[in-house]
A = this chain, B = another copy of it.
Amino acid sequence: MNNPSRPNAGIAISPSRRIRRTPFSDRVEAADVQGYTVYNHMLLPTSFRGVDADYHHLCNHVQVWDVAAERQVQIKGPDADALVQWMTPRDLSKAREGVCLYAPLTDASGRMLNDPIAIRIEENHWWLSIADSDIVLWARGLALGRGFDVDVTEPDVSPLAIQGPKANELITRALGQDIASLKFFNAGWFDVLGRKMLIARSGWSHQGGFEIYLNDSKLGGDLWDLFMDAGKDLNVGPGCPNLIERIEAGLVSFGADTSWDNNPYEAGLARFCHPDRVDCLGKEALISIAEGGPDRMIRGLRFETDNLPPCPGGWMLMDDETYAGNISAAAMSPKFGGIGIAMIERDYLEVGTELIAFTPDGPVKARVCALPMKD
């Protein structure tokens, strides 16, 4: 059970009220979920058929994902627009309602504390769909300290994602043709189970799809069943963010690929940062990083190997005897072979650079590549 090359493989997660179940957990467990992680103090499935089989199903059919752990931090009140702009270097001055904005959050040193999707619900009313850190505390602390007039809460909102090439077909069958007209990273309010719910064309894969922001926990089972019933002939099945697909797509995981010490430029998010234009936390630090260029940056890797062990803890990347970076995720892709994501020091960022990855199975040649990966 405890294989030293596969740390904590197979060890059970203990049920606890502190690790919250989601409105969909009963369905997820009835569908034989094989693994969980914990994200924002909540269960998040990691596998149903095994990572490889999940990948093939996701890339060919359509899946229903319990991503309730993408909690919403609601910021509402007279100073909400000002607070949210203070929290991110992304320029929100032209933010329109119903547009999803990927908005890295930074502290006074420019370090990234989370990388939510920010949605302006209306003037002075935002939802931040967060990665795994307690931004509700950060936002409340900032507001209290500075005297901003806002309410910062976690509403009863639990996203369910529909992902895969047949997502369009499935969602229009279940909820009507109108949704098909949503553009990528746009959101609108639609009738779902007798309520108005926000739906966005978004999700944590590059296979296309939607996220439905369920706003009544009691309806979790019904929402899950709605899609499962409507998609039987589409081979719909349960799913979850997939390690192989997310590496191919270059979807950076906050806390896994980046640490609390990285800045958004290191995370490869320069295009979402406009510290010169806005009055945000870390403005000076971010301007200076943007000018000098970050010391390290996220890149893809292609490994010369037919076999990679699991990489839960990170592997060192070396150039001869010099530290060149840290590999945070790796997997065997049916499309690309051995692939990974790494935080690479600035001297080695050029696509094609050859480095050595120190895996538990020994050194493996790795070549720097761009993200998302392309043949």
- Report which A residues bind B (CB closer than 8 A): 1-2, 4, 6-19, 21, 25-26, 29-30, 32-39, 41, 43, 46-47, 107-108, 113, 132-135, 137-148, 253-257, 281, 310, 312-314, 328-329
Which B residues are CB-close (under 8 A) to A9? 12, 15
What are 6 inter-chain pairs, A to B, with CB distance below 8 A?
Answer: A12-B35, A17-B257, A19-B37, A41-B255, A137-B137, A143-B145
- Are A137 and B133 in contact, with the CB atoms below 8 A? yes
**Docked CA distance A43–B314 (Å):** 16
- Select which of B8, B17, B310, B312 is within 8 A of A256 by beta carbon: B17
| Of the residues B11, B19, B41, contact of A29 by C-beta under 8 Å | B11
Please give me the residue from chain B that is nearest to A137 by CB atom.
B138
The complex places the Cα of A147 from the Cα of B329 at a distance, in Å, of 38
Please report the C-alpha to C-alpha distance between residue A7 and residue B9 in the assembled complex, in whole angstroms: 20
- Nearest to A1 among chain B residues (CB) is B32
Which chain B positions have C-beta within 8 A of A139?
141
- Asked whether, in the complex, the Cβ of A13 is within 8 Å of the Cβ of B35, the reply is yes
Contact call A15/B255, Cβ cutoff below 8 A:
no
Known A14-B36, A19-B37, A107-B140; further 16 A-B contacts with Cβ < 8 A? A2-B33, A8-B15, A8-B21, A11-B12, A11-B33, A15-B313, A16-B256, A17-B256, A17-B257, A17-B313, A18-B37, A18-B39, A18-B253, A137-B138, A145-B147, A146-B146
Q: Decide if A14 touches B2 in the complex (CB within 8 Å).
A: no
Q: How far is the CB of A81 from chain B (nearest CB, A)?
A: 17
Known: A29-B8, A140-B141. A38 touches B19 (CB 8 A): yes
Report the separation of the CA atoms of residues A262 and B354 in the bound assembly, to the nearest whole angstrom: 55
* Consensus secondary structure, chain A interface: loop
Give the complex CA separation of A374 and B242 in angstroms. Answer: 50
User: Which residues of B are found within 8 Å of A4, using beta-carbon distances?
Assistant: 26, 29
How far, in whole Å, are A336 and B255 apart by their CA atoms in the complex? 43
Interfacial chain B residues near A1, Cβ < 8 Å: 32
Contact B18 A256 (CB under 8 A): yes
- Chain B residues whose C-beta falls within 8 Å of the C-beta of A132 in the assembled complex: 18, 41
- Shortest A76–chain B CB gap in Å is 16
- The chain B residue with its CB closest to the CB of A147 is B145
Shortest distance from the beta carbon of A329 to any chain B beta carbon, whole Å: 8
Question: Nearest Cβ distance between residue A151 and chain B, in whole angstroms?
Answer: 10
Whether A113 contacts B142 by the Cβ 8 Å rule is no
Nearest CB on B from A10, distance (A): 5
Which B residue's beta carbon lies closest to that of A38? B38
A80 CB to closest chain B CB (Å) equals 15
Q: Are A36 and B13 in contact (CB under 8 A)?
A: yes
The 5 closest A-B pairs by CB, nearest first: A145-B145, A141-B141, A15-B312, A134-B134, A145-B146
Query: In the bound complex, how far is the Cα of B2 from the Cα of A133, in angstroms?
Result: 29
Instruction: State the CA gap A310–B8 with chains docked (Å).
Output: 24
Measured between alpha carbons, how far is A147 from B132 in the docked complex, in Å?
A: 26
| C-alpha spacing A118/B74, complex, angstroms | 30
- Report how far A35 CA is from B135 CA in the complex, Å: 28
CB closest residue in chain B, given A139? B141
- How distant is A66 from chain B, measured CB to nearest CB, in Å? 12
In the complex formed, the residue of B with least CB distance to A9 is B15
- Give complex CA distance A25, B33 in Å: 25
Inter-chain contacts of A142 with B (CB < 8 A): 141-142, 144-145
CB A152 to nearest CB in B, in angstroms, measures 10
Cα–Cα, bound, A133→B135 (Å): 10
> Do A137 and B108 form a contact, CB below 8 Å, given A8-B29, A29-B2, A35-B14?
no
